[in-house]
């Protein structure tokens, strides 16, 4: 077990949300763990002035991408600039309590077989409710997983740390040595499913994915993309299939694609039609055709 206080690089992405990012950075100012560097990657915001972040927090490293590279691409820019032994990827639409870093660092210090760890995540609009306390396995039919404890009261029932099937991209800490062995997040997804893909790659490398409820954050959730937008419909629908193509074994992939073709695609099409959600319908079918026309996906 290590006894030092390793440098933690905190990486977050800004996209048209300087005010939101500034609120998160203000909460980071109160951290009891002081050996940190903070890196903000602006993902080529078209309707924002990210320089406001640097003006208010001159100690922060602000990197302005010339192109919107999505969740993975933006975070990868941050990784390449980071100096820390541990890298904490955190959404800009979060608020953190002062002591949330220490349990994550201690978890990784105590067990080098742990490749990534997420805290408990609670809703900012109601901190008594849980958003994430680990994940169930990815279903081979639906290509969906469930967040354990979702919308449940934070009454102590989800306070046991341990291995979990996948990580939550809103807050995840990964040792640099693991990234150097496994590689960066793949940028094929742009939005959604990339953290699950990365978690699978890290598990295949022999590491554990961990949930640590001694730490928590408050999550405002989906401010950049909207809680239910055509953009979200497109990327979740597209990337659900991309994830299966990259991570499922041949038999599981066959089962999944049969289910998508015979059940999921017809059901979603009818649902969007009945609800007259035509923009979502177009986004959904655009996602399906993307997978049909893009045969060559680099596999893990």
The confidence score (pLDDT) of residue 188 equals 94
> What are the residue ranges spanned by the domains of the chain?
8-219, 230-293
DSSP annotation of 153: B
> Closest by alpha carbon to 136, among 165, 116, 163, 167?
165
Q: Which two tokens stand for residue 174?
A: 């990964």
Mapping DSSP to helix (H, G, I), strand (E, B) and coil, where does residue 85 land?
coil
* Neighbouring residues of 47: CB distance < 8 A, sequence distance ≥ 6: 16
Overall fold of domain 8-219: Spore Coat Polysaccharide Biosynthesis Protein SpsA; Chain A (3.90.550)
| φ/ψ of residue 171, rounded to 5 | -160, 110
Cα(291)–Cα(187) distance, rounded to whole angstroms?
16
pTM surpassing 0.85? yes
The confidence score (pLDDT) of residue 295 equals 77
With contact defined as beta carbons under 8 Å apart, do 239 and 216 qualify?
A: no
The alpha carbon of residue 3 and the mean position of all alpha carbons in its chain are separated, in whole angstroms, by 29
What is the mean pLDDT for each group of 10 consecutive residues in the chain (300 residues)? Answer: 80 96 96 97 94 96 96 96 98 96 97 98 96 96 95 96 96 98 95 96 98 97 64 95 95 94 96 95 96 76
């Amino acid at each position: 077990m290590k006894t030092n206080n390793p440098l933690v690089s905190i990486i977050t992405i800004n996209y048209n949300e300087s005010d939101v990012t500034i609120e998160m950075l203000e909460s980071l100012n109160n951290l009891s763990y002081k050996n940190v560097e903070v890196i903000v990657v602006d993902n080529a915001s078209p309707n924002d002035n990210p320089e406001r972040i640097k003006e208010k927090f001159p100690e922060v490293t602000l990197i302005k991408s010339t192109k919107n590279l999505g969740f993975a691409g933006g975070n990868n820019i941050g990784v390449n600039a980071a100096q820390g032994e541990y890298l904490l990827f955190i959404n800009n639409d979060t608020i953190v309590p002062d002591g949330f870093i220490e349990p994550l660092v201690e978890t990784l210090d105590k067990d080098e077989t742990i490749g990534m760890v997420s805290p408990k995540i609670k809703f900012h609009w109601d901190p008594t409710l849980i958003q994430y306390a680990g994940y169930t396995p990815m279903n081979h039919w639906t290509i969906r997983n469930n967040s354990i404890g979702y919308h449940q009261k934070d009454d102590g029932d989800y306070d046991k740390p341990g291995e979990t099937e996948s990580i939550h991209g809103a807050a995840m800490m990964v040792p640099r040595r693991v990234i150097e062995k496994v590689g960066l997040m793949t940028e094929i997804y742009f939005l959604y499913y990339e953290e699950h893909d990365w978690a699978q790659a890290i598990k295949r490398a022999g590491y554990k994915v961990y949930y640590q409820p001694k730490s928590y954050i408050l999550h405002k959730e989906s401010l950049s993309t909207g809680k239910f937008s055509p953009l979200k419909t497109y990327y979740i629908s597209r990337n659900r299939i991309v994830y299966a193509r990259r991570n499922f074994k041949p038999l599981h992939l066959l089962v999944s694609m049969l289910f998508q073709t015979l059940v999921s695609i017809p059901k979603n099409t009818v649902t969007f039609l009945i609800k007259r959600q035509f923009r979502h319908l177009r986004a959904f079918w655009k996602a399906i055709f993307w997978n049909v026309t893009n045969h060559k996906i680099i596999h893990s």
